[in-house]
Amino acid sequence: MASVRQFQVTFDCPEPQRLARFWCEVLGYVAPPPPQGFATWDDAERSRPLERQGMSFACIDPSGVGPRPLFQRVPEGKVVKNRVHLDVRVGTGFVGEKRSATIEAECARLTALGAVRVRLLRADGYNESCIVMQDIEATNSASTEQGSLSMARLRARRTLREDGRMSEFPEWSVQSSTGVRFDWGPVGAQALGPQCAALVVVDVLSFTTAVSVAVEAGTRVLPYPWRDDTAAAFAAEQGAELAVGRRAVSQQQPWSLSPAALRAAPAPERLVLPSPNGSAISAAAEGIPVIAACLRNAGAVADWIIGQRWGTVEHPVAVIAAGEHWPGRATLRPAVEDWLGAAAVIAALAEHGAQALSPEASIAASGYAAVSDVRALVRDCASGRELAAGGFGADVAIAIEVETSRSVPVLVDGCFVDATCATSIH
């Protein structure tokens, strides 16, 4: 019989130290002591060649019992479903209300560290209930292991202070004392969202354009951050159809992120629309209305927001351009089409009386006013060329149907519905 071996669990990620610090907080682990001859890890890092600095970081169980997680930096992003995940086991041995209360309390603690609650998986006769959460860096996929509180695929809600502990975004970053604010991507949404009355998400090619087309047809759209096995399970759980990849459409599943495909397909009552950009931002926002805007409905969105008496210093609005990801990298690529869509909303808000644009929002509105041919810019930008080269030029054509839609998709009970229809919001 083989003797018991100690083992280490190694995770690939873009920011090793940040992720290791997070899991130290989650598990009660600590950073290992710095290498011999160095007073701190910072001193040790500075001694290494520049290209080797920040390559890896570990955390350890101070009691010496638990395994050692190691986080190492890699250039490529995640491209397939994770086969390894960590379950944080709480409530072991408890049942009923005591177990539920224990898991909920741990969920609240982890949320304060920057984790994001996704959903509760209820007991099914085989497995006990657990809460699926997101950690801060897209590391692990969800699990339903008995007695666990599962952590999955993280987005950063908080930043690290100099002492390595989690803290809120700094005051200078949230564009305070302004009525209309502008930023990029999931982190921008997490920074500005908690300070605002509403969040406007702009992902022109193609999430928010697809949402506008689907909502116009009467479909309730459920955003979902990932296109993997969990999306199908989520759709089944929600009693909804699932939008597949653009090239995976079929007679049985004619819906995808393609606005052209959605326009041509029968309109389902409910549709799960996975997207790593706009959908991920929409799903991450908590506690405030989320509005899907694009070039087709920028004016209508602005009208509706002003009608709610938002866009003031007292009730500010955050406009978030989703951006794209560089292929194979977990790095945001600012996208011209999303900047134009966000700028169109901001310009319309300013025209209709919104107050105190932040400098970021003000320059977007001014820039949009100087654009002579929005349609040509979107057709010729990198994302437009990419879709056209892939055979999806019709999606670009729909995206540049500037100001043709009066629908205002607002996220209500997890679904985007048209806020201009009196019966939609309840």
Question: What's the rounded Cα separation, in Å, for the pair 373 and 371?
Answer: 6
Structure tokens at 225: 């951050």
Cβ atoms of residues 165 and 25 within 8 Å: yes
Q: What is the pLDDT of residues 142-153, one digit of tens each?
A: 333 333 444 433
pLDDT for 2: 57
Read off the amino acid at residue 361. Answer: A
Q: In this prediction, what percent of the chain has a pLDDT beyond 90? A: 46
Calpha distance 231→117 (Å, rounded): 16
Q: Is the pLDDT of residue 273 over 60?
A: yes
Examine the pLDDT at 154 and tell me if it is beyond 50.
no
Question: Would you say the C-alpha torsion 306, 308, 309, 312 has a positive or negative sign?
Answer: negative
Radius of gyration of the chain (CA): 23
Segment (H or E) for 46: helix 41-46
Say what the pLDDT of residue 415 is: 93
Q: How many CA atoms lie within 13 A of 78 on its CB side?
A: 21
**Pairing status of strand 8-13 against strand 241-242:** unpaired
Amino acid, res. 318: A
**Quick one: pLDDT at residue 338?**
98
Residue 311: CB partners within 8 Å, gap ≥ 6?
179, 180, 305, 317, 349, 353, 354, 355
Domain 8-152 architecture: Roll (3.10)
The larger pLDDT score, comparing residue 97 to residue 60, is at 60
Distance separating alpha carbons of residues 217 and 25, to the nearest angstrom: 46
What does residue 412 show for φ and ψ, rounded to 5 degrees? -130, 120
- Cα–Cα dist 112/93, whole Å: 25
**pLDDT tens sequence across 190-226:** 889 888 999 999 999 999 999 999 999 999 999 988 7
Strands (E), 336-393: none
Sign of CA dihedral 375, 380, 382, 383: positive
Torsional sign, CA 186, 369, 298, 336: negative
Cβ burial of 185 (10 Å; 0-12, 13-18, 19+) is buried
Tell me what the mean pLDDT of segment 413-418 comes to. 92
The better pLDDT of the pair 73, 294 is held by 294
Q: Which residues of 234-264 are buried (b: 16+ CB within 10 A; e: fewer)?
A: bbeebebbbbbebeebeeeebbbbbbbbbbe
369 against 55, higher pLDDT: 369
* pLDDT band at residue 321 using 50, 70 and 90 as cut-offs: very high
pLDDT at 279: 80
In whole numbers, what is the pLDDT of the chain averaged over residues?
83
Q: How many CB atoms lie within 10 A of CB 107?
A: 19
For 196-223, the DSSP string reads SSEEEEE-TTTHHHHHHHHHHTT-EEEE
Q: Nearest 10 degrees: CA dihedral of 211, 217, 218, 224?
A: -20
Check if the beta carbon of residue 311 is closer than 8 Å to that of residue 305.
Answer: yes
Segment 103-112, tens digit of pLDDT = 888 888 888 8
| Cα–Cα dist 103/83, whole Å | 24
Q: What burial class does residue 266 get, using C-beta atoms within 10 Å of its C-beta: 0-12 exposed, 13-18 middle, 19+ buried?
A: exposed
Residue extents of the structural domains in the chain: 8-152, 173-209+277-418
Residue 139 confidence (pLDDT): 41
Tokens 């996704």 appear where? 118
Rounded to an integer, what distance in angstroms lies between the CA atom of residue 222 and that of residue 234? Answer: 10
Over residues 246-266, the mean pLDDT reads: 96
Q: What confidence score (pLDDT) does residue 309 get?
A: 94
Query: What CATH number was assigned to the domain covering residues 173-209+277-418?
Result: 3.90.1560.10
